[in-house]
Structure 1
Amino acid sequence: MFPGALAEREAAAYVLVGAPLDVSTTFQPGTRFGPDRVRTFSRTFDDFDHHTAAHFTDLGVHDAGDIHAWDDAEAYLTFLEGTLSDVRDDGALPLLLGGEHTVSLAGVRACDPATVVVLDAHLDLRAEYDGNPLSHATVTRHALDVADEAVVLGARTGSEAEWERASEADVTVVPPEDVDEWAAAPDLAGPCYLSVDIDAADPAYAPGTGTMEPFGLAPREMHRVVRALAPDCVGFDVVEVNDRDDGQAATLAGKLLRAFVFAHAHGDEDEDGNDR
């Protein structure tokens, strides 16, 4: 169980679902261990958040456990989408814990946002990767079948075809050096879904991921983005954590997930602390 996720399912405002899919990860597999590692390395965090003066245990988070993954990614995403849609139908916000980035597509489909915002080192706009049209390297392209626009924060690499696709009107790419400025005044077309690929962080901070890419974001910059966008989000995930470090990536992922919940819950209250 994710530490502090004590709410009963029926009363939950947030439902965490683990999705340990690990079928298309390139270079360094191991995302199947991501959900458990994030839970494990989140045990040391204090319950209290000084930014919002709130306790995590009071925010109605329920951990529904993992949806066991199998080799058929398309079938798995369909099943996962159904699970997350049930969460939405019950009036709760889904928190998805990957697993490879492909699982984000189930979250986007279930939440049907106007905008998908992705913290990611890679554009993930490929039509296919190694002959696979449903790969972690194609997730943002597929997300645009649902959302009106995609904003990729921290991207610093991609194929020539991906950069060409990124130049179209429905994609905005914000390079690492401009992310702080963008987060200070985000311009979004309606409710958004926020996906955090942990490789958006520079490998110095999160080496436990499949495809490391230098010259990335600092954790503090990612934290600002998550807190800034959370109040406008209808869904959230953090993905691509594996078991190939000493817990740095999992610790960052867990902290960002908690920051999202704190900021979203705080943003859903008016100045008197009443639900909007």
Structure 2
Amino acid sequence: MFPGARDADPDDPGSAADYVFVGAPLDVSTSFRPGTRFGPGELRKHAATFEDYHPETRTHFSDCSVADYGDVRAWNDATAYLDYLEGVLTDVHWNDATPLLVGGEHTVTVAAVRALDPDVFVALDAHLDLREDLDGDPLSHSTVTRHALDVADEAVVVGARAGNEHEWERATESDVTAVPPEDAADWSPDFAEDREVYLSVDIDAADPGFAPGTGTLEPFGLAPREMRDAVRAVAPQAVGFDVVEVNDHDDGQTATLAAKLLRAFVHHHADA
């Protein structure tokens, strides 16, 4: 169980909770280093040392009404898995709780966006993820932003520094904003107050020096403090949150950062 959370009702996720941690250990399309199936467990493990008290918001995580649903066991059929996961997240949403989805590969975000139907999709990500497919797979982790734009009106990718020529051309269109790492510290959301936002954190947005435990490393990335500040800024308008692409190929640095960002989201979302 995620430290500071309690068990969720498996038959009625989100009931009597404000936030629900849902593990989604899908690991079928990782194109370089697999291992994202271990992400939810790594976050639970490495959050164990965190203090309960959050000084910026003067709140305790254990008072934020977080429930842990456990992991939605993954299998190799990504289409069927996303349909099932979407149902779980829809139940959480219909209970007026905010899902905290923890991957697994970035593909799991597609289920959350479909379930929550946001106006704006914000991703902290090294990659634009605007491909039609990767090696013939239309549900590759490299297609997430494109799928999100089937639902959301616009997408913002903070920390973007990798993509093919077609993706960079697509990113020049009016519904996509790519914020390079050097501009991330000065970026802040300026969405209208009635716009609902979904926030996705692909941990490879971080520079590999801070987060080596991920599948597709991209140097010259974001610092943890820049990621934290972006999460804090977006949290008040967010209807859902995820952190994805954590694997077990380090000594816990990456999972610790991911768990801390999840905690920051909860504290600042609850405070708002």
TM, length-normalised to structure 2: 0.96
CA distance in 2, matches of 1:203, 1:131: 28
Counterpart contact for 1:18–1:97, Cα < 8 Å:
yes
Q: Which runs of 5+ in 2 are unaligned?
A: 10-14
- Runs of 4+ residues over 6 Å off in structure 1: none
CA distance in 2, matches of 1:167, 1:130: 24
Q: Does 1:26 align with 2:31?
A: yes
Deviation readout 1:152-204 (Å, 9 max, x if unpaired): 00000100010011111110000011111112xx1225110000000000000
Counterpart contact for 2:207–2:221, Cα < 8 Å:
yes
CA distance in 1, matches of 2:270, 2:211: 27
CA distance in 2, matches of 1:147, 1:122: 18
Return closer, same or farther for 1:83/1:218 CA change in 2, 3 Å cut-off: same
SS of the counterpart of 2:107? helix
CA distance in 2, matches of 1:171, 1:187: 14
The equivalent of 1:142 in structure 2 is 147
TM, length-normalised to structure 1: 0.95
Return closer, same or farther for 1:259/1:72 CA change in 2, 3 Å cut-off: same
Q: Does 1:6 align with 2:9?
A: no
Counterpart contact for 2:8–2:20, Cα < 8 Å:
no
The letter for the 2-side match of 1:193 is Y
- Count matched residues: 265
CA distance in 2, matches of 1:68, 1:253: 21
Q: Which runs of 5+ in 1 are unaligned?
A: 268-276
CA distance in 1, matches of 2:19, 2:149: 25
Deviation readout 1:58-113 (Å, 9 max, x if unpaired): 01000000000000001000000000000000110111000000000111111110
1:86 to 87, 91, 105: 91
Shift of 1:6: 2.4
2:234 to 229, 233, 240: 229
Listed as ranges, the matches of 1:172-211 within 5 Å are 172-183=177-188, 186-189=189-192, 190-211=195-216
CA distance in 1, matches of 2:29, 2:119: 27
Shift of 1:8: 5.3
CA distance in 1, matches of 2:143, 2:32: 16
CA distance in 1, matches of 2:135, 2:49: 40
CA distance in 1, matches of 2:50, 2:56: 14
The equivalent of 1:157 in structure 2 is 162
Listed as ranges, the matches of 1:118-133 within 5 Å are 118-133=123-138
The equivalent of 2:79 in structure 1 is 74
Superposition CA RMSD, Å: 0.8
Percent of aligned pairs sharing the same letter? 68
Counterpart contact for 1:7–1:60, Cα < 8 Å:
no
Q: Does 1:110 align with 2:111?
A: no
**Which stretch shows the higher mean deviation, 188-197 or 50-59?**
188-197
CA distance in 1, matches of 2:7, 2:53: 17
Q: Does 1:41 align with 2:23?
A: no
Counterpart contact for 2:157–2:179, Cα < 8 Å:
yes
